[in-house]
Amino acid sequence: MLREHGMHVTAQRLAVLRAVSDLPHSTADDIFTAVHAELGAISRQAVYDSLAALTDRGLFRRIQPAGSSARYETRVGDNHHHLVCRSCSRMVDVDCAVGATPCLTASDDSGYEIDEAEVVYWGRCPDCAAAPAGEDVAQ
Ligand SMILES: [Zn+2]
Ligand SMILES: [Zn+2]
């Protein structure tokens, strides 16, 4: 995958790639923790730099819901959407409801060349909805 995207293969990038693929929608901190557990000596900055480089090259999609840290995933290029729990911040994928990219068709594009639409559904996940009122499910 790295070579296909014209990137040098390093242990660090492989570990970051594996972590994001194993833990979709994880934050940079989560990814640092996973990569650190695998490689040992690696700086937070090095992990953040790899994340940025891989995102720039299109291997990762970066999602930043309002009020949340940025999340990363390897499912790119299909314009899928996300459900976010307001209580525990868990995020899951939602496919487009109909067709390939229906949300790319704006009712009025004002002359813009649109290439992405971002839809975030907010609510409470089943665990949080089932928890007694006022109690958030611990992550
Ligand atoms: Zn929840
Ligand atoms: Zn996703």
**Model pLDDT for residues 122-135, shown as the tens digit of each residue:** 999 999 999 876 56
- In terms of phi and psi (left: phi > 0; alpha: psi -120 to 50; beta: otherwise), the region of 40 is left
* Cα distances (Å, whole numbers) of residue 62 to 81, 109, 110, 117, 129: 12, 24, 26, 13, 27
Distance from residue 90's CA to the centre of ligand 1 (Å) = 6
Distance 83 CA to ligand 1 centre (A): 10
Per-residue pLDDT tens listing for the chain (139 residues)? 888 888 888 999 999 999 999 999 999 999 999 999 999 889 999 999 999 999 999 999 999 988 888 999 999 988 788 999 999 989 999 987 665 555 667 788 899 887 777 788 999 999 999 987 656 555 4
- Report CA-CA distances (Å) from 110 to 102, 103, 106, 116, 138: 17, 15, 9, 15, 44
Q: Please tell me the pTM assigned to this model.
A: 0.80
Ligand minimally distant from the alpha carbon of residue 128: 1
CA of 39 from ligand 2 middle (Å) equals: 26
